[in-house]
């Protein structure tokens, strides 16, 4: 009977008042609370949230595949009218893989390392579709064809470690669509991919989903751009609550929950720069599940919180097909109040004065290293393969300026940073700190050089010693600094200096006593930044410092960088794979590919054509945080080439969408100065195509909706 | 894969060369004059000198080593000081016995330990897991001579099923020797059991947590397919390596077990030779042992390579 109801109303998935809890270390935590969500066939529902929002728990519960310590304590999950929670495992095994499939996040880990990819798909077809050995093999190849995996037979015979993450993600996608399921759950399927690969995968998902009108899709992601580009409807989760649910267009036009607005306000959009726009971070942090605020759980961070918010809000019906868990949604809708966070003080940065002196001067830097050879290879006289991780990079960082370095994984951006710091030995060129040349490795660098040059790493959890308190971590560099140059007139003790540092990164003095394990990701990164600033450096290297952070935290860290830099006038080399972040924070943007720079431009004009074709492709690949935003799709074929292969001509010629012929293969391109009529721009592009031609080709390529 | 095999073989030869140098030097540096050991305390200086000359003990060390190694490789292992018999047939007979015992032990212990480990791993932290872990660990805590005595008490004296002494004459066939192998093999099994079972259990638990198991489960495959086809293929790799390596230990390390059961294996021969300061026998036994260890390692590496596509595809 329930079955009938399910097929009648057209809903494939109906989640009703679902509450899922975990028993962890003796404590009970509810990761998902009272969530109701329906997806009809043919619809793609995006599920957005930061870490700890419960989105993955919800996805796993939907698949009825919760870890052992997880329990559904309330609610129902109806799949085509049937409550999955009442099914036995054996019955689930009939549904899994045939009617309900999932594309997981980490493709490499999600495939069996010792079975061929073909077999991993074919086994599903044999089991669920009842195909014979040879039919399953043929069908697998056809599916690989469908997800645009080039040489399908080779892929079929390959093992996971032999292919790139993007290709493995295609295999998993082929697997998930192979049985034409009614429900397809995609759990952050592009999060670990490069932006160019992500764009290709999103195109593919759109095409596949469009071709399966009978399928309901649940697309989970933390990326507001991805969801804008792919979902028909978006549900937003916060700390286990579903806070808003609306058709995509309406959600982005007018969010009716302050948290949604906060998310949209705190992400830098492609094309924005700190000179014009301020990021508005969401104050505070995501509450821990054991210690939820009473009433509305967003209340402590909400700019609109009033007395009514002490009451836990229901999920209000906020107009046609919209829901919001905010007491004040009507006022927001009518424009009486604005849920936008106030612009933080001091975030507005005066444009840096023209750089009078370069802090860092990189001239033709090379980092080549040989791949390891075995004893046998050496006896056989095999020459070691040269890896050109950084291949002739020249770049300057001026005092008080931020140079952003963007590139895909494997582009050599981190190696360049390591070469500056001395962790990767430079094999050619020079790197000067002010006028002093830095020795290639750590050996021979003076204490002064170490002091002047500080680094902030990507993962603060791994760079802070877990056994030292925050105070001890900060005291160490301070003490070394004092030992070298005792402060004139004794301007306070070290403890005061620690407090000052903590205040500079907006942490209270009590944090000095805490251990890194007691801090959140954002707080750890603040401590890491404070530590880097402690010796009063002249140059800061920041290697993907916000990549591992949630967007609401990312914004406040970016503002912090701005603030500290303006105050101390230090030069920063800021490395990131995120063009929007780099374009926002930097004064100068450098684009790197296979160890060579492709384009160097001031940040104001990096988004205006003409571009280097690689920059153009990168820009085109960024999913715009705007469902109406359109860009010409310029997609890169294939993968980043291994830097150990010999490169001739332009390193980008193997993938270049604007490839013009033999000249690209045979000759090293010139650096072309780009001018902009009526503007004072400083931009150069490493390409054979003349400026005017590039301008002509790229004229129509970019149009932002705003 | 061919390259991998070649490389492993290269390592094997290198290992053997290095150990042979160590064995040679150690026996040369041991206190005591070889000539005096042979001729006895009353021998005159002249006779000693003549014997030294005859044995080549006055030659430079590397010449002596080269000669010793050549003789060893071509199979001329010399005569025993203490019994005067040829060493090679003596040692090879013991090798055969030791191999039989090792094989028997593996036949009993591996299926048992792997099965227990897999069951424990699949039922992590349940009473089944605890029962298996506690039992196997409490057995491994007992020294071999104690477990041996218990087994003899039960199976030989109590039930009268198996012989208490395992002394086998030379030249019996495997089948004939079989009953005498069971008790020593069981004793050795008890030593290995906990180790291999724990390792298997850890491997299974580690693999079960990996994302590919979720992928396999969400294909709707039956539980046994998920376990046997997906999990065990990866979980047993470390176990296989360890089992192959423990084969080396089984060949030469069962000194106590062989003594308790009076079983004529390599371990007992070594003890016998050391008692009598019988240098050539000691050297031969050690070299054979090293060959056994190194080969076991080679087999372990090759098996691992065969199972791991990363290696078998030659990258």
Q: Do B212 and A101 touch (CB under 8 A)?
A: no
Please determine, looking at this structure, whether the domain spanning A358-589 carries the CATH number 3.40.50.720. no
Chain A: nearest CA to B276, how far in angstroms?
43
**CB contacts, 8 Å: B3 with chain A:** 376
Nearest CB partner across the interface for A110, out of B6, B211, B233: B211
- Among candidate residues A268, A294, A298, the one with its CA nearest the CA of residue A281: A268
Q: What is the pLDDT of residues B27-55, one digit of tens each?
A: 777 666 677 777 777 777 888 888 778 77
Estimate to the nearest angstrom the gap between the alpha carbon of B314 and the chain centroid.
29
Q: Nearest chain B Cα to A121, which residue? A: B219
Q: Which tokens belong to A575?
A: 């490395």
List, as ranges, residues 55-94 from B with C-beta within 8 Å of A. none
- For the segment(s) A2-99+181-197+211-333, the CATH number from 3.40.50.300, 3.50.50.60, 3.40.190.150, 3.30.420.40 is 3.40.50.300
pLDDT digit string, tens, across residues A205-224 = 988 888 878 899 999 999 99
Residue with tokens 């004459």: B169
Strands (E), A239-339: 241-247, 316-317, 323-324
Contact check, Cβ <8 Å, A112/B7: no
Name which of A404, A408, A413 is nearest A574 in CA terms. A404
For residue A356, the model assigns a pLDDT of 66
| Closest approach of B287 to chain A, Cα-based (Å) | 26
pLDDT score recorded for residue B151: 86
Residues 6 or more apart whose CB falls under 8 angstroms from that of A544 comprise A414, A457, A458, A575, A576, A577
Interacting residues of B213 by C-beta distance below 8 A, sequence separation 6+: B207, B226, B230, B231
Q: What are the tokens at B160?
A: 């009268």
Cα A84 to Cα A64: distance, rounded to the nearest angstrom:
7
Cα A125 from Cα A140, distance rounded (Å): 8
Q: How many CB atoms lie within 10 A of CB A74?
A: 15
CB contact at 8 A, A244 and A251: yes
CB neighbourhood size of A425 (10 A): 15
Q: Is it true that the peptide bond before A610 is cis, omega within 30 degrees of 0?
A: yes
Q: Which run of H or of E encompasses A675?
A: strand A671-676
Query: What would the 3-class secondary structure string for A350-394 be?
Result: CCCCCCCCEEEEEEEEEEEEECCCCHHHHHCCCCCCEEEEEEEEE
B13 Cβ neighbours under 8 A, 6+ residues apart? none
- Within A469-587, strands assigned E span 539-543, 571-576
- Tokens representing A179 are 């049985």
In the structure encoding, which two tokens stand for residue B141, read together? 């805590």
State pLDDT tens for residues B190-233. Answer: 888 888 999 999 999 999 999 999 999 999 999 999 999 999 98
- Please tell me if residue B224 touches chain A, with a CB cutoff of 8 Å: no
SS3 of A393-441: the string is EEEEEECCCEEEEECCCCCCHHHHHHHHHCCCCCCEEEEEECCEECCCC
Please give, rounded to a whole number of angstroms, the shortest distance from the CA of B273 to a CA of chain A. 39
Chain Cα centroid distance, residue A501? 28
- The radius of gyration of chain B from alpha carbons, rounded to an integer in Å, stands at 24
Coil, strand, or helix at residue A534?
Answer: coil
User: Could you tell me the residue ranges of all domains in chain A?
Assistant: 2-99+181-197+211-333, 106-178, 358-589, 607-703
Residues 6+ apart with CB under 8 A from B126: none
Cβ-Cβ contacts under 8 Å for A497 (sequence gap 6 or more): A478, A534
Count Cβ atoms below 10 Å from residue A567 Cβ, excluding itself.
Answer: 12
Neighbours of A10 (CB within 10 A): 13
Please name each of the domains of chain B with its CATH number: 32-76 (no CATH), 87-312 (1.10.3720.10)
- Token pair 């023209």 is found at A354
d(CA A159, CA A120) in angstroms, rounded, equals 10
Q: Which helix (H) or strand (E) holds A681?
A: strand A679-686
Averaged over successive runs of 10 residues, the pLDDT of chain A (706 residues) comes to: 50 94 83 93 93 89 88 92 91 93 92 94 94 94 89 91 89 93 93 87 88 89 92 94 95 94 90 83 82 90 92 92 93 89 61 69 90 63 77 90 90 91 90 90 86 87 89 87 63 80 85 87 88 89 87 85 84 92 92 94 87 92 87 79 78 90 91 83 90 82 46
The mean pLDDT of B83-109, rounded to a whole number, is 88
**Residues of B in Cβ contact (< 8 Å) with A109:** 210-212
What is the token pair recorded at A604?
A: 């104001």
* Chain A nearest C-alpha distance from B124 (Å): 11
Structure tokens at B191: 């030593």
| Chain A touched by B41 (CB under 8 Å) | no
Pair of tokens at residue A240: 């286990």
E strands, A270-334, are 316-317, 323-324
Give the end-to-end CA distance of chain B in Å, rounded to a whole number: 8
CB atoms within 10 A of CB A210: 10
Chain A: residues touching B (Cβ < 8 Å) = 63, 65, 89, 92-98, 101-102, 104, 106, 109-115, 120, 123-124, 127-128, 159, 161-162, 172, 175, 374-376
Give yes or no for a contact between A602 and A586, defined as CB atoms under 8 angstroms apart.
Answer: no
For residue A510, give every residue at least 6 positions away whose Cβ sits within 8 Å of its Cβ, in sequence order, or none. none
Confidence of residue B148 (pLDDT cuts 50, 70, 90): confident
Is A358-589 in the same CATH topology as A2-99+181-197+211-333?
Answer: yes
CB A600 within 8 A of CB A397: no
* pLDDT for A704: 47
Residue-wise pLDDT for B262-288, tens only, equals 888 888 888 888 888 788 888 888 888
For an interface test with A, give the residue of B4, B123, B207, B212 to mutate (most A CBs within 10 A): B212
- Among chain B residues, CA nearest to A161: B310
The pLDDT, as a whole number, for residue B299 is: 85
HEC string of A129-189 equals CCCCHHHHHHHHHHHHHHCCCCCHHHHHHCCHHHCCHHHHHHHHHHHHHCCCCCEEEEECC
DSSP state of A429: E
Please answer yes or no on whether B219 and A65 come within 8 Å at the CB atom.
no
Strand order in the sheet with A386-398: A386-398, A358-370, A428-433, A436-437
Tell me if A96 and B216 make a contact (CB, 8 A cut-off).
no
Helix axes B174-208, B144-151, angle to 10 degrees: 120
How far is Cα of residue A176 from the mean position of the Cα atoms in its chain? Answer: 24
B237 pLDDT band, cuts 50/70/90, is confident
The Cα angle at residue A173 between residues A169 and A179, in degrees rounded to 5: 155
- Which residue in A6, A3, A82, A11 sits closest to A41, CA to CA? A11
Min Cα–Cα distance to chain A from B294, Å: 19
Residue of B nearest to A376 (CA): B7
ipTM over 0.95: no
Evaluate whether A653 touches A659 at the Cβ level (below 8 Å).
yes
Nearest to B219 among A89, A124, A374 (CB): A124
3-state SS assignment for residue B274 = helix
- Rounded to a whole number, what is the distance in Å from the CA of A101 to chain B's nearest CA? 7
Q: What is the pLDDT of residue A652?
A: 92
Report the distance separating Cα B253 and Cα A304, nearest Å: 76
Is B210 part of the contact surface with chain A (CB cutoff 8 Å)? yes
- pLDDT at position A156 is 94
Chain B residues whose CB is inside 8 A of the A122 CB are: none
Cα–Cα distance between B58 and A259 in angstroms, integer?
91
pLDDT at position A253 is 93
Q: Does B309 touch chain A (CB under 8 A)?
A: yes
> Is the CB of residue B158 less than 8 Å from the CB of residue B205?
no
- Asked if the Cβ–Cβ distance from A96 to B219 is below 8 Å, we say yes
Residue to test with chain A: of B14, B220, B237, most A Cβ within 10 A: B220
* Cβ-based contacts of B215 with chain A (< 8 Å): 104, 110-112, 120, 172, 175
Judge: B211–A175 Cβ closer than 8 Å, yes or no: no
Task: Please check whether residue B42 is in contact with residue B35, taking contact to mean a CB–CB distance below 8 angstroms.
Answer: no
Two tokens, residue B120: 């424990």
Q: Do residues A349 and A274 touch, judged by C-beta distance below 8 A?
A: yes
Dihedral of alpha carbons A408, A409, A412, A415, sign: positive
The CB density around residue B294, as the number of other CB atoms within 10 Å, is 18
Q: How far apart are CA B279 and CA B33, in angstroms?
A: 11
- Burial of A614 by CB count in 10 Å (0-12 exposed, 13-18 middle, 19+ buried)? buried
DSSP per position, A496-546: HHHHHHHHHTT--GGGGG--GGGS-HHHHHHHHHHHHHTT--SEEEEESTT
């Amino acid at each position: 009977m329930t079955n009938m109801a399910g097929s009648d109303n057209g809903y494939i998935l109906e989640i009703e008042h679902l509450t899922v809890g975990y028993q962890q270390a003796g404590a009970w935590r509810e990761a998902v609370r009272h969530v109701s969500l329906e997806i009809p066939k043919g619809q793609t529902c995006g599920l957005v949230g930061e870490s700890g929002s419960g989105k993955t728990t919800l996805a796993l519960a939907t698949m009825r595949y919760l870890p052992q310590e997880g329990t559904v304590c309330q609610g129902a999950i109806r799949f085509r009218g049937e409550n999955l929670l009442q099914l036995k495992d054996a019955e689930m095994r009939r549904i899994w893989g045939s009617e309900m499939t999932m594309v997981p996040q980490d493709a490499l880990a999600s495939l069996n390392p010792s079975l061929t990819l073909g077999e991993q798909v074919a086994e599903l077809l044999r089991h669920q579709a009842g195909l014979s050995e040879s039919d399953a093999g043929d069908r697998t190849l056809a599916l690989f064809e469908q997800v645009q995996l080039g040489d399908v037979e080779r892929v079929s015979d390959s093992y996971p470690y032999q292919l790139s993450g993007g290709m493995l993600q295609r295999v998993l996608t082929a697997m998930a669509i192979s049985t034409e399921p009614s429900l397809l759950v995609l759990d952050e399927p592009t999060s670990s991919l490069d932006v160019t690969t992500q764009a290709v995968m999103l195109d593919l998902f759109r095409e596949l989903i469009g071709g399966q009108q009978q399928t309901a899709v649940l697309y989970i992601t933390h990326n507001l751009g991805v969801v804008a580009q792919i979902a028909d409807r978006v549900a937003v989760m916060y700390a286990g609550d579903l806070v808003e649910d609306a058709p995509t267009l309406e959600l982005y036009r007018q969010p009716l929950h302050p948290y949604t607005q906060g998310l949209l306000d705190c992400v830098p959009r492609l094309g924005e720069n700190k000179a014009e726009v301020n990021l508005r971070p969401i104050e505070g942090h995501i509450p821990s599940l054991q210690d939820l605020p009473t009433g509305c759980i967003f209340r402590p961070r909400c700019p609109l919180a009033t007395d009514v918010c002490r009451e836990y809000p229901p999920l209000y019906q906020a107009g046609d097909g919209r829901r919001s868990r905010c007491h004040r949604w009507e006022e927001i809708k009518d424009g009486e109040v604005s849920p936008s966070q106030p612009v933080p003080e001091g975030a507005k940065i005066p444009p840096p004065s023209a750089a009078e002196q370069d802090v860092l001067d990189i001239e033709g830097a090379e980092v080549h290293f040989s791949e390891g050879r075995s004893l046998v290879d050496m006896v056989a006289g095999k020459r070691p393969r040269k890896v050109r991780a950084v291949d002739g990079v020249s770049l300057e960082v001026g005092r008080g300026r931020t140079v952003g370095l963007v590139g895909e994984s494997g582009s050599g951006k981190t190696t360049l940073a390591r070469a500056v710091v001395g962790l990767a030995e430079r094999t050619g060129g020079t790197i000067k700190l002010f006028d002093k040349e830095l020795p290639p490795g750590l050996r021979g660098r003076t204490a002064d050089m170490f002091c002047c040059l500080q680094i902030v790493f990507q993962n603060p959890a791994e760079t802070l010693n877990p056994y030292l308190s925050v105070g001890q971590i900060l005291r160490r560099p301070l003490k070394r600094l004092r030992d070298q140059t005792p402060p004139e007139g004794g301007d306070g003790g070290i403890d005061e200096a620690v407090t000052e540092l903590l205040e500079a990164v907006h942490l209270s003095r009590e944090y000095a006593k805490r251990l890194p394990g007691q801090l959140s990701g954002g707080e750890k990164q603040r401590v890491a930044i404070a530590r880097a600033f402690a010796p009063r450096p002249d140059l800061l290297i920041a290697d993907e410092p916000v990549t591992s952070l949630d967007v609401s935290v990312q914004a406040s860290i970016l503002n912090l960088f701005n603030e500290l830099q303006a105050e101390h006038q230090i030069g920063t080399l800021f490395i990131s794979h995120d063009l929007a972040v780099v374009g926002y924070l930097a004064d100068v943007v450098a684009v790197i590919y296979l160890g060579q720079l492709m384009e160097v431009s001031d940040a104001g004009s990096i988004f205006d054509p003409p571009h280097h074709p690689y920059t153009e492709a990168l820009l085109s690949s960024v999913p715009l945080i705007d469902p109406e935003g359109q860009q010409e799709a310029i997609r890169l074929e294939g993968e980043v080439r291994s830097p150990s292969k010999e490169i001739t001509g332009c390193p980008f010629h193997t993938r270049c969408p604007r490839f013009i012929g033999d000249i690209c293969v045979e000759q090293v391109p010139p650096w072309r100065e780009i001018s902009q009529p009526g503007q004072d721009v400083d931009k150069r592009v490493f390409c054979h195509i003349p400026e005017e031609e590039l301008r002509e080709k790229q004229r129509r390529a970019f149009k932002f909706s705003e | 894969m061919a390259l991998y095999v070649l490389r492993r073989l290269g390592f094997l030869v290198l290992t053997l060369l290095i150990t042979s140098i160590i064995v040679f030097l150690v026996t040369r540096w041991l206190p005591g004059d070889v000539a005096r050991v042979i001729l006895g305390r009353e021998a005159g200086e002249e006779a000693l000198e003549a014997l030294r000359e005859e044995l080549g003990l006055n030659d430079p060390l590397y010449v002596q080593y080269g000669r010793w190694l050549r003789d060893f490789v071509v199979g001329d292992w010399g005569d025993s000081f203490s019994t005067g018999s040829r060493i090679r047939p003596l040692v090879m007979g013991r090798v055969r016995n030791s191999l039989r015992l090792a094989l028997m032990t593996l036949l009993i212990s591996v299926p048992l330990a792997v099965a227990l480990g897999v069951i424990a791993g699949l039922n992590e932290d349940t009473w089944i897991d605890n029962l298996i872990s506690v039992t196997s660990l409490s057995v491994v805590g007992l020294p071999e001579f104690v477990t041996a005595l218990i087994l003899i008490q039960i199976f030989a004296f109590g039930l009268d099923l198996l012989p208490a002494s395992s002394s086998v004459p030379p030249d019996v066939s495997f089948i004939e020797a079989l009953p005498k192998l069971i008790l020593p093999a069981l004793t050795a099994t008890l030593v290995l059991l906990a180790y291999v079972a724990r390792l298997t259990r850890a491997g299974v638990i580690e693999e079960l947590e990996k994302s590919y198991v979720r992928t396999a489960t969400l294909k709707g495959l039956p539980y046994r397919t998920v376990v046997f086809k997906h999990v065990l293929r990866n979980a047993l790799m470390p176990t296989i390596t360890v089992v192959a390596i423990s084969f080396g230990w089984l060949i030469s390390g069962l000194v106590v077990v062989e003594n308790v059961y009076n079983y004529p294996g390599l371990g007992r021969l070594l003890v016998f030779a050391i008692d009598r300061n019988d240098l050539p026998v000691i050297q031969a036994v050690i070299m054979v042992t090293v060959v056994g260890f190194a080969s076991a390692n080679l087999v372990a590496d090759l098996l691992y390579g065969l199972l791991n596509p990363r290696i078998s595809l030659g990258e």
